[in-house]
Amino acid sequence: MQKPTTGDEPQEKILCLMCGAPEYETLLMGRDNLFAQPGKYPIVKCCRCGLVYVNPRPTLEALRRHYPDNYFAYTQEDDIAPLLRRILVPMVKAAAVNRIRYIEEVIGRLSDKTRVVDVGCGTNQFLRYLQELRGCRGIGVDFNVKTTDYVRRTYRMPIVCGTLHDAQFKDGQFDLVTMHEYLEHEPNPRQVLTEARRITRLGGHICIEIPYIDGLPAKIFRSRWSQYDVPRHLVFFTRETLEKMLQRCGYKLITARAFGAPFIIGMSVLHSLGFNKLGSIKGAGWLLVGLAGAPILPFVPIMREGMSIVARAE
């Protein structure tokens, strides 16, 4: 099993991930709020294009050690107590339904003829509900071996263990590419978006969901904002910088919306109170996060944590 790394790790200094400029200003020093590992990570802003990213950052090999098998994103339904499963599974399904509705508001109804690839799919939850509710033909991509094995064994669904480049899909193979809470983890976002465009048919679409760094929570919580999840989150977009990168990769932005997320706010509250080992949270732990975020519920419309976009392949 992989273990979270210590602060003593190989790092690399990089150029801007969008424009290649070397000049930047440091916005703040991030820390590992999920596993409380030592070390600080500068979050910087490109002086030329405005992209925000981590620099320096762990090397690719070192980065993989920050994704242990007990990372909460890899939680399997079998690991959750039956009573809690009855609470959490409907919540996960509701989130998937909201994502489906958002996509359909923009591009029309999905169907069994819609070919979908979900990049950074985790336990394939989104594709499972797409298949159940719309009959879509989908395949997931994720680099965690344990998780991809679980998906194949439990759900008998197609999934690629590796990166999008490793999958070697055909040109124009998909009608829809989805990246929910993935792009911020990607060491080479421009490269992966270029590959996504190659495998999207002309007139097809990409849907991306990312942290919203222009929102109020990012300004209030700063280094304790749970979406500054360094070093797992490596790049942070505004609407403008994401649109610019999409254009350079062959997509045209159609729509973007910011939204609130009480659970994410709850994690930020807990981080601010010194709870810094939430990375392997499971089951009842999510109820604690929910309670921490509950006082913020009336303010969710202005406490925007995330951003969803849909863009068309040009």
Inside any domain, residue 6: no
Inside any domain, residue 261: yes
What's the domain range around 231? 11-313
Give the count of domains, the chain.
1
Contacts of 225 (CB under 8 A, 6+ apart): 217, 218, 268, 271
Give the 3-state DSSP-derived string for 38-62, with helices as H, strands as E and coil as C: CCEEEEEEECCCCCEEECCEECHHH
27-52 residue pLDDT tens: 999 999 888 888 899 999 999 999 99
Inside any domain, residue 179: yes
5-32 residue pLDDT tens: 445 789 999 999 999 999 999 999 999 9
Between CA 304 and CA 209 the distance in angstroms is 13
Q: Residue 199 maps to which CATH number?
A: 3.40.50.150
Inside any domain, residue 116: yes
Inside any domain, residue 2: no
Q: Are strands 24-31 and 40-46 parallel, antiparallel or unpaired?
A: antiparallel
Inside any domain, residue 3: no
155-204 residue pLDDT tens: 999 999 999 999 999 999 999 999 999 999 999 999 999 999 999 999 99
Inside any domain, residue 71: yes
Q: Which amino acid is at 266?
A: G
Nearest to 209 by CA among 179, 246, 165, 231: 179
Lowest mean pLDDT: which of 24-38, 99-113, 153-167, 283-297? 283-297
- Reported pTM: 0.91
Inside any domain, residue 4: no
pLDDT > 70 in the chain, percent:
91
Question: Which single residue is written with the structure tokens 């999840």?
Answer: 229
Q: Sheet containing 24-31: which strands, arranged edge to edge?
A: 24-31, 40-46, 52-54, 235-236
Q: Which amino acid is at 101?
A: R
Per-residue pLDDT at 128 exceeds 60: yes
Instruction: Say if CB 176 and CB 206 are below 8 A apart.
Output: yes
10 Å CB burial of residue 230 (0-12, 13-18, 19+) is buried
